[in-house]
Every structure is written in structure tokens, then in C-alpha cells.
């Protein structure tokens, strides 16, 4: 790939393409991911409010990182979005892991009678499943 007369030019073009893919372009996808995580954590209360707000600010920075292509100082938006976003992702991952450890098994919703949803209806022949004969 880098054999010939224009090795330096080709290397510079390749480095620029790699930077674009790993910097501003990747930042948009990471911003969407971080924003969705922060918004979900804020709405459900699963993330502390300061962490969720940090995630939303990080997402905004990441989503604005393609401004680098028209204004070079906007390159600072890339690390400004990426590093706090990684911290928010780490906090969310730890909180999810701790929450999973606390529960004793898969969570099921229960009806007013205390049975898993749909069980009483199936027992009485009202549910989607086949009615039990007595």
C-alpha cells in the first residue's frame, strides 16, 4: 500500500482517514450510546443524577465532534465527549452488575393474587394457553 514515490503523501492520507474514523465519526455513535444510557438512567433513577447529567453533556460533546471538519479547534470535543462518556459507562456497568447480584433470580411480574401474570387466567381457562381439566 505504501510502496512507490508518494509514500509520505499516502501515509498522511491513511493517517487522516484513520483519525476521521476513530475520532469525529466514532464520536457520533458513542454520543448516541452515551446519551441513551444517560437518559435512561435519569428517567429510571438507576444512575445518580450527577452521573446522568455528565452523560448527557458528554453525549452532546460527542455529537458535536464532527464540527472538527469545519473548525479545527472543535477537535477538543472528541476527548471532552469520550472520557466522561467512558466514566459514565463504567459507573452504569458497575451499578447494573451490583443490581444483578442482589436479585435472587429473574424478575417476573406478579398479579394481584401473587401468582406470575397469566397463571391465574390459564388455571381458570381464560388465558392464551390450553385450559387445565380437572
- Cα dihedral 79, 48, 30, 28 sign: negative
Nearest 5 degrees, angle CA 86-CA 61-CA 37? 45
Low-confidence ranges of the chain (pLDDT < 50): 104
Task: Look at residue 10 in the predicted model and tell me its pLDDT.
Answer: 83
Other C-beta atoms lying within 10 Å of the C-beta of residue 119? 16
pLDDT tens, residue by residue, 68-80: 888 988 889 889 9
Domain layout of the chain by residue ranges: 7-103, 108-134
- Dig out the grid coordinates for 58 from the structure: 458528554
Q: Does the predicted model carry a pTM greater than 0.95?
A: no
Task: Look at residue 54 in the predicted model and tell me its pLDDT.
Answer: 96
**Measured distance CA(101)–CA(35) in Å, rounded:** 26
Amino acid at each position: 500500500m505504501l510502496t512507490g514515490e508518494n509514500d509520505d503523501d499516502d501515509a498522511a492520507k491513511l493517517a487522516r482517514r484513520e483519525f476521521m474514523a476513530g475520532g469525529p465519526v466514532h464520536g457520533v455513535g458513542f454520543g448516541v450510546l452515551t446519551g441513551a444510557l444517560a437518559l435512561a438512567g435519569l428517567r429510571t433513577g438507576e444512575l445518580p443524577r450527577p452521573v446522568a447529567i455528565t452523560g448527557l453533556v458528554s453525549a452532546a460533546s460527542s455529537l458535536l465532534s464532527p464540527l472538527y471538519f469545519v473548525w479545527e479547534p472543535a477537535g477538543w470535543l472528541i476527548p471532552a465527549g469520550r472520557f466522561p462518556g467512558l466514566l459514565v459507562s463504567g459507573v452504569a456497568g458497575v451499578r447494573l452488575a451490583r443490581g444483578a447480584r442482589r436479585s435472587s433470580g429473574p424478575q417476573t411480574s406478579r398479579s394481584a393474587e401473587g401468582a406470575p401474570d397469566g397463571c391465574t387466567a390459564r388455571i381458570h381457562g381464560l388465558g392464551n394457553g390450553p385450559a387445565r381439566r380437572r
